[in-house]
Amino acid sequence: MTVVMGADAAEADRLQRLAAYGIVRRDDSVLLVRIGPKSVDDYKKWMLPGGGVEHGEHPRVTVVREFKEETGYDVEVVRLLDVDAEHRRLTGPLDFHAVFALYEVAIVGGTFNPSGHGGVDTCAWISLAELPDLPLLTPIGAALEKFLPHVALNTSGQLPS
């Protein structure tokens, strides 16, 4: 985390994060993970499996590692779909800038484990018909809309009433 000094110090701390996520479909479903309680701002929102790139790690390696940790599946990268970014204020206040790579992945082994790991509390195969009712992280919802045509999603990130 970069601490802002001088006149801007009272405004917010700054954090820039590089991450990699994977999208995989099975029939009319997509595999998603739900953010756990460690995230004050995004608890119970859904996103794609993936996470932060560790120092010296290639984003392709990140998505394979994170998929295993969060879902139990072994995956291989099929192709890079997109690189995107999000900039927003988080609780604290924290000036958060996320840059992420989105990969299409294929399951090649492992055993599905819905119990979650680290920052996620569960994972599930979600039917495309259910996606519009889920609270999704805004950039993940936008990516799903782009790569799952004809699906209108809840990209507001708000939990349903």
CA atoms within 13 A on the CB side of 153: 27
Distance CA 68, CA 10 (A): 40
Distance CA 152, CA 15 (A): 31
Distance CA 133, CA 59 (A): 30
Provide the pLDDT for residue 7.
Answer: 47
Provide the pLDDT for residue 160.
Answer: 44
Provide the pLDDT for residue 153.
Answer: 57
- Sign of the torsion formed by the C-alpha atoms of 118, 51, 66 and 158: positive
Q: What pLDDT, in 10s, does the model give residues 132-158?
A: 889 998 888 888 888 886 665 555 544
Nearest to 41 by CA among 109, 7, 88, 6: 88
Query: For the domain 12-128, what is the CATH code?
Result: 3.90.79.10
Angle 146-99-114 from CA coordinates, rounded to 5°: 70
Provide the pLDDT for residue 16.
Answer: 83
Residues of the chain with pLDDT under 50: 1-7, 9, 157-161
